[in-house]
Structure 1
Amino acid sequence: MTAPPKKAFPLRLDPALYAAIERSAAGDLRSVNAQVEYLLREALTRRGVKVSVSQTPKRGRPAKQEDDNG
Protein backbone atom coordinates (compact mmCIF):
# COMPACT_ATOMS: atom_id res chain seq x y z
CA MET A 1 0.00 0.00 0.00
CA THR A 2 1.47 3.35 -0.98
CA ALA A 3 0.97 6.70 0.64
CA PRO A 4 -1.12 9.23 -1.22
CA PRO A 5 0.96 11.61 -3.34
CA LYS A 6 1.81 14.97 -1.84
CA LYS A 7 -0.15 17.97 -3.02
CA ALA A 8 1.96 20.12 -5.33
CA PHE A 9 1.17 23.80 -5.78
CA PRO A 10 3.05 26.96 -6.74
CA LEU A 11 4.16 29.18 -3.88
CA ARG A 12 5.52 32.68 -4.26
CA LEU A 13 7.84 33.83 -1.48
CA ASP A 14 9.79 36.98 -0.84
CA PRO A 15 13.42 36.21 -1.72
CA ALA A 16 14.59 37.21 1.77
CA LEU A 17 12.06 34.83 3.35
CA TYR A 18 13.16 32.01 1.05
CA ALA A 19 16.82 32.67 1.94
CA ALA A 20 15.97 32.50 5.66
CA ILE A 21 14.10 29.22 5.19
CA GLU A 22 16.99 27.88 3.13
CA ARG A 23 19.48 28.71 5.92
CA SER A 24 17.20 27.17 8.53
CA ALA A 25 16.77 24.04 6.41
CA ALA A 26 20.53 23.67 5.99
CA GLY A 27 20.99 23.95 9.75
CA ASP A 28 18.42 21.19 10.30
CA LEU A 29 19.75 19.03 7.42
CA ARG A 30 16.43 19.25 5.55
CA SER A 31 15.41 20.31 2.08
CA VAL A 32 13.67 23.66 1.74
CA ASN A 33 10.44 21.82 0.94
CA ALA A 34 10.70 19.66 4.06
CA GLN A 35 11.54 22.74 6.14
CA VAL A 36 8.48 24.63 4.88
CA GLU A 37 6.30 21.62 5.73
CA TYR A 38 7.91 21.36 9.19
CA LEU A 39 7.41 25.07 9.89
CA LEU A 40 3.77 24.95 8.76
CA ARG A 41 3.06 21.95 11.01
CA GLU A 42 4.80 23.68 13.92
CA ALA A 43 2.78 26.87 13.40
CA LEU A 44 -0.51 24.95 13.18
CA THR A 45 0.33 23.00 16.35
CA ARG A 46 0.95 26.27 18.21
CA ARG A 47 -2.49 27.43 17.11
CA GLY A 48 -4.07 24.25 18.40
CA VAL A 49 -4.78 22.75 14.99
CA LYS A 50 -4.18 19.01 14.85
CA VAL A 51 -2.60 17.73 11.67
CA SER A 52 -2.29 14.01 11.19
CA VAL A 53 0.83 12.66 9.56
CA SER A 54 0.24 10.56 6.47
CA GLN A 55 1.65 7.07 6.72
CA THR A 56 4.73 6.68 4.56
CA PRO A 57 5.37 3.46 2.69
CA LYS A 58 8.00 1.14 4.15
CA ARG A 59 11.26 0.85 2.26
CA GLY A 60 12.89 -2.33 1.11
CA ARG A 61 11.50 -5.64 0.03
CA PRO A 62 8.09 -6.71 1.23
CA ALA A 63 8.05 -9.43 3.86
CA LYS A 64 8.18 -12.95 2.44
CA GLN A 65 4.81 -14.65 2.78
CA GLU A 66 4.55 -18.28 3.79
CA ASP A 67 3.01 -20.54 1.13
CA ASP A 68 0.28 -22.91 2.40
CA ASN A 69 1.14 -25.50 -0.26
CA GLY A 70 4.43 -26.55 1.06
Structure 2
Amino acid sequence: MAKRKAYPLRLDPQLYAAIEKWADDELRSVNAQIEMLLKEAAKKAKRYPPKVKKET
Protein backbone atom coordinates (compact mmCIF):
# COMPACT_ATOMS: atom_id res chain seq x y z
CA MET A 1 0.00 0.00 0.00
CA ALA A 2 1.23 3.50 -0.81
CA LYS A 3 2.51 5.64 2.02
CA ARG A 4 -0.09 8.13 3.22
CA LYS A 5 0.71 11.81 3.63
CA ALA A 6 0.10 13.22 7.10
CA TYR A 7 -1.17 16.81 7.05
CA PRO A 8 -2.28 18.96 9.99
CA LEU A 9 -5.64 20.56 9.32
CA ARG A 10 -7.30 23.37 11.23
CA LEU A 11 -11.10 23.40 11.04
CA ASP A 12 -13.79 25.64 12.42
CA PRO A 13 -15.22 23.84 15.49
CA GLN A 14 -18.76 23.90 14.07
CA LEU A 15 -17.58 22.38 10.78
CA TYR A 16 -15.66 19.71 12.69
CA ALA A 17 -18.75 18.87 14.74
CA ALA A 18 -20.85 18.55 11.57
CA ILE A 19 -18.26 16.27 9.92
CA GLU A 20 -17.91 14.25 13.12
CA LYS A 21 -21.69 13.63 13.24
CA TRP A 22 -21.78 12.79 9.53
CA ALA A 23 -18.86 10.37 9.95
CA ASP A 24 -20.58 8.73 12.91
CA ASP A 25 -23.78 8.32 10.88
CA GLU A 26 -21.80 6.55 8.15
CA LEU A 27 -19.64 4.50 10.56
CA ARG A 28 -16.42 6.22 9.51
CA SER A 29 -13.69 8.05 11.37
CA VAL A 30 -13.55 11.81 10.95
CA ASN A 31 -10.31 11.38 9.01
CA ALA A 32 -11.90 8.85 6.62
CA GLN A 33 -14.93 11.11 6.17
CA ILE A 34 -12.78 14.12 5.28
CA GLU A 35 -10.72 12.01 2.85
CA MET A 36 -13.90 10.66 1.22
CA LEU A 37 -15.32 14.19 0.84
CA LEU A 38 -12.09 15.49 -0.67
CA LYS A 39 -11.89 12.57 -3.12
CA GLU A 40 -15.50 13.11 -4.23
CA ALA A 41 -14.83 16.82 -4.78
CA ALA A 42 -11.63 16.09 -6.73
CA LYS A 43 -13.40 13.50 -8.90
CA LYS A 44 -16.28 15.91 -9.57
CA ALA A 45 -13.71 18.52 -10.67
CA LYS A 46 -12.07 15.85 -12.87
CA ARG A 47 -8.80 16.18 -10.99
CA TYR A 48 -8.67 12.73 -9.38
CA PRO A 49 -7.04 10.45 -10.14
CA PRO A 50 -4.37 12.52 -11.83
CA LYS A 51 -4.16 11.97 -15.57
CA VAL A 52 -1.11 9.95 -16.60
CA LYS A 53 0.66 11.23 -19.70
CA LYS A 54 1.10 8.53 -22.32
CA GLU A 55 4.54 8.23 -23.82
CA THR A 56 4.54 7.90 -27.58
TM class by shorter chain equals 0.7 to 0.9
Letter in 1 for 2:34: V
Q: Which residue of 2 aligns with 1:46?
A: 44
| TM-score after normalising by structure 2 | 0.80
Q: Pick from 5, 8, 19: which aligns with 1:7?
A: 5
What 5-or-longer segments of structure 2 have no aligned partner? Answer: 51-56
**Who wins on radius of gyration, i.e. which is larger?**
1
Moved more, 22-31 or 42-51: 42-51
% same residue:
54
Partner Cα distance (1:9, 1:48) in 2:
23
The RMSD of aligned alpha carbons is: 1.3
Following TM superposition, the consecutive aligned residue runs of length 4 or more in structure 1 with deviations greater than 4 angstroms are none
> What is the number of residues matched between the two proteins?
50
| TM-score after normalising by structure 1 | 0.65
